[in-house]
Structure formats: structure tokens, C-alpha cells
Amino acid sequence: MSALLILFQTRSNARRAAFAARFQSTSARPVTLKERLAELIPKEIENVKATRAAHGKKSFGPVVVDQLYGGMRGLPALIWDGSVLDAEEGIRFRGKTIPEIQELLPKAPGGSEPLPEGLFWLLVTGEIPTQEQVAELSRDWAARSAIPEFVEEILDRCPPTLHPMSQFSLAVTALNHNSAFAKAYQDGINKKEYWGPTFEDAMDLIAKLPNIAGRIYRNVFGKGKLPAIDASKDYSHNLATLLGFGENPAFVELLRLYITIHSDHEGGNVSAHTGKLVGSALSDPFLSYAAALNGLAGPLHGLANQEVLIWLRKMQSKIGEDATDEAVKEYIWSTLKAGQVVPGYGHAVLRKTDPRYTAQREFALKHLPDDKMFKLVGQIYNLVPDILLEAGKAKNPWPNVDAHSGVLLTHYGLDQMQYYTVLFGVSRAFGVAAQLIWDRALGAPLERPKSYSTAAIQKMFKDKS
């Protein structure tokens, strides 16, 4: 064989190998979240149609008048596949318990807590993502993270006395200025395509929250200039850095756990339901989530962990840091006899210890077992349930998630309690955003429940036994 022919065959083989390598690289590229969602939507539309065809006319439990007067408590009225709250087991994300997602979801290199990116993927698709898919999601959010200059100016002009949640709501509302959904709707997009720009807005919303939250924290508490987002780091690491705690690996791990377990809690809690309700009017995800934040800011919802920490500090100031069980019991009874509740205990649905509380307790046992406040929380955990049962004060005498989170944040130096709900707000965006995407994909209608007057109720049951 001539040298020229050998050279030709060698170059030809090299070209074929290069082409094959390029093709293999393209085919091996991990499927993005939006691509996977586009594959799932037609199947889920058919699943919903089949479910309605088979069960749509069936009764789904009675409605009693007390439910109308009692805040619709327990009234079956919503569909959300992302998470379901079981009274005995606690929250399940797409059917998986908190211990299961702690085991199954991807972790950061060297970390042991689940990455919130993986939880968002799970909420949207019902599937556990790969490490590569989660890494790509981290990069995507970092690329979307910048907030408009006028939003920065809004936050910088807020007086530090304006509550951080009010500033948070203002900034999220202002992001509506660049809403992909609002623009697409104005341009006449087909309703079957609503989910696409909703997805883009939802991704932008989540991505921009760390910069908003970090700017609020540094403005209000005088922590200096905001550092830049690092595209090589995960979402929680960047948020921790913006807050000034990125050099503490344990705090970064805490944020990963915190965001994950606070991300969603069924569709009927105030923030989740508010986001869904406002979104049903085809308000874009920024407007919808700003409304959800205003609900989250209430003392019966997102402010509860702050109330717990205030109560614990008052207790310590009165009975000391290493009080006996008898002294703690006496303080608990004094709280109840004063007509107050023990904050962080009881839940509208749960009838056992909140698994989110347990996850945080296990974190504390691993990272801060000797912390004085944590020891008090554990002491209270051993005492309060029996006291509440004896007093007849609660159907569920067990602790919920709020009984623990403030103590963990305080341990690492984030002790500005009025800021805690902002972190809750960053977390809850994951569940609300996922729900808004699916509502638009499935063509969920405008919500319009029927209301009755007291006179109408009386008339309805007049002369009936």
C-alpha cells in the first residue's frame, strides 16, 4: 500500500472518529429540566383527562358548615401532585419522605445534605435527577441571577426600618417588569403554550431570589457590599455567600437542608394557595409569588419560627441557660395559664412530630450537640407534649418545623430574627413555582369558590333536623 493511500485512510478514520465523538457528546448531553418537562406534559394531560373521566362525577366527602366558618380547614378543594401532607407521616415530596429525599437527591461534593436544585427537579418532574442535571440547573440559575438596576435601586432606597418581608415583596413584584409570560400573553400566545413562558419566569424568579435576599440582608443589617454570584457553586452556597456565611461549610449545609424541607408543604397552606389562586387569574409568577410572600409574612405562617425564638430567649432570661426540668415545666405552664400557646407546637394537619423538625434535630446532633439553645429545645421536646395533653390544649402536642429552625440559624450567627421569614420565602418559591408551571401546562381554570352568607346558611337548614 502506498504511503499516500495510508495517509488518506488515516485522515479519513480520524475524521470519522471526530464526527462520532461529536455525535456521542451531543447525544450524551443531559436532558434539561425544560426538555424533560415538555416530554411529560402531554402524558400528564392525558392522565388528568382519564382521572376526570373515571372519577369526575364522584362525591369526594361531605362539607359541613363548620368548615365554612373554620377557614375551610380540611376541605378537599385543590389538586397538587408535588407534595401531599399525611397526618401521621408528614410531608411527602412526589411520594417520597424527607429521609428518602435526604438519601436519594444529589449532594454537593463533600456534602451530605440534599441540594435544593434536585428537590425542584423532583417537584417538577416526579423524578430524581442525576448529578449532571443538578449541576446544569445550578449553572442555569447562576446565569439568570442578576436583578435589574431599578430593582436594586428600589431596595437601596428602602429605609432599614421597613420589614425585610415588605422589601422582599416589593422587589419580587417589580420583577414583573420583565415577565416572559406577561409579554407572551400580550402578544397573543396560544393557551396550550402558556407553560413555556411561565417556566422561564419561574426559573428567573428562583434564580434572582438570592440576590434580592442578600441585598435586603446587607442593607438592613449593615453588612457591606454584595459579592457576585459564583457560577461554579450551587444555589445554597451562593445564598450563604451573599449573606456573609459562605466560608462556613456547616452553614452552607444547613441552608441546603433548610431550603429543601421548607420548599413545599401541600397546596393548601397560605403561601402555596395564595400563589396558586393569584396565578389562576393568569397573573405572572412574579405577581403570584409576591402575593404568596405577603401571606407568608403573617405571624400564623412564616413568622412562627421568630415567635419560637423570642419565647425561648424569654425563658432563658428568666430561668437561666441550664435550668432543671422542673423549672422548664413551670415556665411552660405559666405560658399556658397566661392564655398563650407554646410556639412551635401543634399543626393544622400533622398528628405526630413533624419530620422537618426531626431532620433539623439530627443536623443539630451532628453539628452543634453542645449548643445551649439546642439543649433547651431538646429539653422542651421531652416535656411539652405531655403537658399539652394534660392541659387539653392541642390535638397534636408535637413540635413542627418552626420549633427548631431559628435555633440553628442563631447558632451560626444569623441571629436577626425578623429576617428569618425571608429565608422561608426563598425556600417556598420552589413549591409555588413548580405548581404554577403545572397549572399553566394543564390549563387550570380561574379559581372561584362559592361563598354563603350566615342568613343563607340559616335559611338552608331552616325546619330541617
Catalytic annotation present for 301:
yes
Q: Is 402 labeled as catalytic in the residue annotation?
A: yes
CB atoms within 10 A of CB 368: 18
Q: Residues 378-387: contacts with CB within 8 Å, 24+ apart?
A: 379/323, 379/325, 379/328, 380/312, 380/328, 380/332, 382/325, 383/325, 383/328, 383/329, 383/332, 384/332, 384/342, 384/345, 385/345, 387/329, 387/332, 387/333, 387/336, 387/342
List Cα–Cα distances, 276 to 45, 52, 192, 431, in angstroms: 18, 20, 18, 10
Cβ 277 vs Cβ 444: under 8 Å: no
Distance CA 135, CA 121 (A): 12
Q: Which of 81, 86, 163, 301 is catalytic?
A: 301
Distance (Å, whole) CA 34 – CA 332: 50
Pick the catalytic residue from 262, 265, 273, 347: 347
Closest by CA to 209, choosing from 315, 314, 292, is: 292
Q: Which residue type does 301 have? A: H
> Residue 424: what residue type?
F
Measure the CA–CA gap between 83 and 101, rounded to whole angstroms: 12
Q: Which residues of 313-339 are buried (b: 16+ CB within 10 A; e: fewer)?
A: eebbeebeeebeeeebbebbeebbeee
Beta bridge partners of residue 91, listed in sequence order:
85
- The answer to whether 234 is a known catalytic residue is no
The residue assigned the cell 413540635 is: 399
Q: Residue 107 is which amino acid?
A: K
Q: What is the DSSP letter of 178?
A: G
C-alpha cell at 284: 405572572
Q: In terms of Cα–Cα distance, which of 308, 284, 402, 426 is closest to 350? A: 402
Which of 273, 402, 404, 439 is an active site residue?
Answer: 402
| Residue 98 identity (one-letter amino acid) | I
Write down how long the chain is: 465
User: How many whole angstroms separate alpha carbon 393 and alpha carbon 26?
Assistant: 61
Alpha-carbon gap, residue 113 to 99, rounded angstroms: 11
Separation of alpha carbons 33 and 120, rounded Å = 10
Eight-class DSSP state of 130 = P
Facing residues of 90 across strands? 86
State the catalytic residues: 301, 347, 402
